[in-house]
Amino acid sequence: MTSQSLLSLSAWRVWQRNWDVFMRLWRVELWPGFLEPVIILLAMGFGLGAFVQPISGQSYLQFIAPGLVASSAMFSASFECTYGSYIRMSFQKTYDAILATPVMVEDVVTGEVLWGATRALFSGGVVLVVITAFGLVQSPAALLVLALLFLQGLAFSSLSLFFTGLAPSIYTFNYYFTLFITPLFFFSGIFFPLEQLPAVFQTISWFTPLTHAVNLYRALVLGQVFWDLAWDLAWLLMFTGIFVVLCQVVMRRRLIV
């Protein structure tokens, strides 16, 4: 076996460990991901939406639905690769145990990122099912959202694990969520078109990953696909590529002493 195939196999072992744990707990863990989008849809879509004019011809409910797929995936991958990974690394010493086996540190990091992306796929997929049930999916092109959810999951998992590699304590993640993840939730075009914002904020928003996921999902859910979406896709790919490498660097520095 080449070292390359060994590497991918070992990363898969780490993924499988998380999968086994998830299978023990999924009955508990899956419900928040299912209920939260329903609550947001009811509160924002029906409640607030009653006072909002149609946006680009869409009801408010229809407007926010695709973005909730993206935000659910973002939260899921981010929680998994901050709190989840940090607990495995620092409290449970799971990584230390794994590193005494033929699995190497790069496999652990890759396995964690792949697992975070899988969680994002599940959570986003659940929301996609929910909004389909609400009759808010207009095109079979929405199936492509599933593939993109995995990519978006990789983006947020690798970014989160990069942060985890630097975090001095688990409390640091409160800052990550309050100052970074939550603002993305509100300022990435889920609840209102970004054109509402001053130009400078529009520009900032364009440099953050959630905006591009929201653009892509909205287009696919509505079946209105244009070539400029290629920019969103390219942006996400590049962002992911950068942080997949960076999280390897900081985690290696942290774990190998």
Residue 19, CA distances (Å) to 22, 79, 109, 110 in order: 5, 16, 15, 14
Q: Which is nearer to other proteins, 102 or 193 (CB)?
A: 102
Q: Which is nearer to other proteins, 101 or 174 (CB)?
A: 101
Binding residues (CB under 8 A) for other proteins: these are 3, 6, 9-10, 13, 16-17, 20-21, 24-25, 92-94, 96-104, 256-257
Q: Which is nearer to other proteins, 92 or 178 (CB)?
A: 92
CB of 98 to other proteins, least distance (A): 6
Q: Distance between CA atoms of 57 and 65, rounded to whole angstroms?
A: 14
The contacts of residue 54 (CB under 8 Å, 6+ apart) are 60
Q: Which is nearer to other proteins, 10 or 240 (CB)?
A: 10
**Tokens found for residue 25:** 């707990």
CB of 218 to other proteins, least distance (A): 37
Write down how long the chain is. 257
Q: Which is nearer to other proteins, 146 or 255 (CB)?
A: 255
CB of 1 to other proteins, least distance (A): 9
The contacts of residue 240 (CB under 8 Å, 6+ apart) are 151, 154, 155, 158
CB of 170 to other proteins, least distance (A): 16
CB of 17 to other proteins, least distance (A): 5
Q: Which is nearer to other proteins, 188 or 248 (CB)?
A: 248
Q: How large is the greatest C-alpha to C-alpha distance in the chain, in angstroms?
A: 63
CB of 96 to other proteins, least distance (A): 5
Q: Do 156 and 181 contact (CB within 8 A), yes or no?
A: no
Q: Do 136 and 92 contact (CB within 8 A), yes or no?
A: no
CB of 95 to other proteins, least distance (A): 9
The contacts of residue 243 (CB under 8 Å, 6+ apart) are 155, 158, 159, 162
Give φ, ψ of 113 to 5 degrees. -65, -45
**Tokens found for residue 29:** 């863990």
Q: Which is nearer to other proteins, 13 or 202 (CB)?
A: 13
